[in-house]
Structure 1
Amino acid sequence: METEELNIFDEYRNLLGIETREDVHRKGHWHETFHCWIVSREEGADRIHLQLRSSNKKDFPGLFDITAAGHLLSKETPMDGVREVEEELGLAIAFEDLIPLGVIKDQIHQEGFIDNEHCHNFLYLAKENSDLRFELQKEEVAGMVSADFQAFSELCMGKRGQAAVEGFKMADDGTAEPFAKTIRKTDLVPHSQSYLEQVAVRLKQVLEKA
Structure 2
Amino acid sequence: MKTEILNIFDGRGNTLGVASRDEVHEKGHWHETFHCWFVTREHGKTYILFQIRSERKKDYPSLLDISAAGHILFDETISDGIREVHEELGVDLSFEDLIPLGVIRDEIIHDSLIDSELGNVFLYVCPERIEEQLHFQEEEVSGVIKLEYHAFAKLWSGEISEVVAIDSAGEIRLVTKTEILPHSESYIETLLGQMAKELKL
> Could you give the per-residue CA deviations for residues 99-148 of structure 1, whole angstroms, max 9, x where no partner exists?
00010111111221111110000000123224861000001001111111
Instruction: Tell me what 1:26 maps to.
Output: 26
Q: In structure 2, do the counterparts of structure 1 residues 63 and 130 end up closer, same or farther at CA, with 3 Å as the change threshold?
A: closer
CA–CA distance in structure 2, aligned partners of residues 92 and 63 of structure 1: 24
- Residues 82-161 of structure 1 mapped to structure 2, 5 A cutoff: 82-130=82-130, 133-161=133-161
Please list every run of 5 or more consecutive structure 1 residues that lacks an aligned counterpart in the other structure.
Answer: 169-176
Give the letter aligned to residue 26 of structure 1: E
State the Cα distance separating 1:179 from its structure 2 match: 3.7
State the Cα distance separating 1:183 from its structure 2 match: 1.0
Instruction: Tell me what 2:198 maps to.
Output: 206
1:41–1:129 Cα contact (<8 Å) kept: no
Instruction: Tell me what 2:185 maps to.
Output: 193
Q: In structure 2, do the counterparts of structure 1 residues 2 and 187 end up closer, same or farther at CA, with 3 Å as the change threshold?
A: farther
Paired residue secondary structure (2:92)? coil
Paired residue secondary structure (2:80)? helix
CA–CA distance in structure 2, aligned partners of residues 12 and 193 of structure 1: 20
> Could you give the per-residue CA deviations for residues 145-202 of structure 1, whole angstroms, max 9, x where no partner exists?
111111112222333222111123xxxxxxxx55432111110011111111111111
1:7–1:74 Cα contact (<8 Å) kept: yes
Instruction: Tell me what 2:69 maps to.
Output: 69
CA–CA distance in structure 2, aligned partners of residues 20 and 69 of structure 1: 18
CA–CA distance in structure 2, aligned partners of residues 44 and 132 of structure 1: 20
State the Cα distance separating 1:205 from its structure 2 match: 1.1
Give the letter aligned to residue 197 of structure 1: E
State the Cα distance separating 1:87 from its structure 2 match: 0.3
1:85–1:91 Cα contact (<8 Å) kept: yes
TM-score between the two structures when normalised by the length of structure 1: 0.90
What is the RMSD computed on CA atoms of the aligned residues?
Answer: 1.6
TM-score between the two structures when normalised by the length of structure 2: 0.94
2:36–2:121 Cα contact (<8 Å) kept: yes
Paired residue secondary structure (1:92)? coil
Instruction: Tell me what 1:182 maps to.
Output: 174
4+ runs deviating over 4 angstroms: none
CA–CA distance in structure 2, aligned partners of residues 142 and 91 of structure 1: 15
Q: Percent identity?
A: 46
